[in-house]
Amino acid sequence: MIIVMKPKASQEQLDHLIEKIKSLGFSVNISKGKERTVIGVIGEEDKLRVQPLEAFPGVEKVMSVLKPYKLISREFHPENAIIDINGARFGSTDICMIAGPCSVESLEQIRTVAAAIKKLGGKLIRGGAFKPRTSPYAFQGLGEQGLKYLAQIREEFGLAIVTEVMDTRDVELVGKYADAFQIGARNMQNFNLLKEVGATKKPVFLKRGLSATYKEFLMSAEYIASRGNFNVILVERGIRTFEDYTRNTLDITAVPVLKQFTYLPVVIDPSHAAGRRELLEPLSKAAVAVGADGLMLEVHPCPEEALSDGQQQIVPERYKEILESLQSIANAVGRKIV
């Protein structure tokens, strides 16, 4: 259930209403917009319908939310959320770039990429210290040593760290180093992990599962929000279809559809969608044109020597060319690449 307060509702009226709702055994989440405050009430709505909530001072209207996801719905927060990470404002007119290698392999490797990103005006760097791999014999990441390399790069270049967490036992460790968590596609429905990162309040890049519907994707985001963390950025990274030429099939439709349902920013990851570096530029252009709030691209100083996913990574020089090609499209839709 959602309760919309009147524009001039006082703090005293808001506190009085919240106190009443909590006394009935419900939990609340508050969203303060430019003009109105909206209260999301979590619990069995049938028990609350017997209360004349519309009669409380300061209440404008009370609405039931039919969708299974409540806290991340447009009804709860009509305005787009803006999530700021190191000056990159996801959900604003900026199209925010997240670049870096698939895996952190060495300090020299990550430093080379970081220097290129910084020179191009980037604010974020991505890199995996813990890697979920299909084969148990493939490179699994450097673990905490990789996180330490990323932290050193942050000190040297001022770039915020986006890195994946795979296990509830690692949330505290990764949180010590990361500025934002990434939840990979295989963990999209690892509900215990979602709740753990939700409790941290750090921004979370949540990737869509390999075969997840929009509803399933949004329900995973709801798990994070239900623990009080609304700093969720949805990442479309391609879904599994019958086509095997590309690694996955990029669902470009996801951007406008998700923006109808939720106020959360939506980012496209063309690297994992295509799995082929020659397709990154056209898919990135499509993402900008359709309204994505950011792009996640894999950049490596020497892709042919990469320990993971070399075929979908690009060198820094190519990354620069793609950024330049995107700016004209961003200008056409009233946005800018940052």
**10: domain CATH number?**
3.30.70.1140
Residue 76 domain-assigned (yes or no): no
Question: Tell me: the pLDDT tens digits for 20-31?
Answer: 888 888 888 888
Secondary element (H or E) of residue 27: strand 27-32
Q: What is the structure's pLDDT at 122?
A: 96
239 plus 317 within the same structural domain: yes
Shared-domain flag, residues 156 and 223: yes
Residue 90: φ, ψ to 5°: -70, 130
More confident residue, 34 or 24: 24
Per the domain annotation, does 125 fall within a domain? yes
- How much of the chain exceeds pLDDT 90, in percent? 72
| Tokens matching residue 171 | 């949330």
The pLDDT, as a whole number, for residue 39 is 87
Query: Residue 315: inside a domain, yes or no?
Result: yes
Q: Residue 328: which residues within 8 A CB-CB, separation 6 or more?
A: none
In a domain, 77, yes or no: no
Q: How many domains does the chain have?
A: 2
Do 163 and 276 belong together in one domain?
Answer: yes
Report how far residue 150's alpha carbon sits from residue 159's, in angstroms, rounded to the nearest whole number: 9
Q: At 139, is the secondary structure helix, strand, or coil?
A: coil
Residue 166 lies in a domain: yes
Residue 69 lies in a domain: no
pLDDT in tens, 108-143: 999 999 999 999 999 999 999 986 666 775 667 788
Q: Which residue range(s) make up the domain with 59?
A: 2-63
- Residue-level pLDDT at 138: 66
| CB 225, CB 244: distance < 8 Å | no
Mean pLDDT of the chain: 92
24-33, 75-84, 175-184, 280-289: least confident range:
24-33
The enclosing domain of 297 has a CATH number of 3.20.20.70
**Closest CA relative to residue 176, chosen from 165, 185, 188, 190:** 165
How close are the terminal C-alpha atoms of the chain, in Å? 37
Q: Is 25 in the same domain as 87? A: no
Q: What is the pLDDT of residue 89?
A: 97
Q: How far is CA 286 from CA 114, 262, 320, 325, in A?
A: 26, 21, 18, 12
Query: Model confidence over 62-81: pLDDT tens digits?
Result: 877 778 888 899 888 888 99
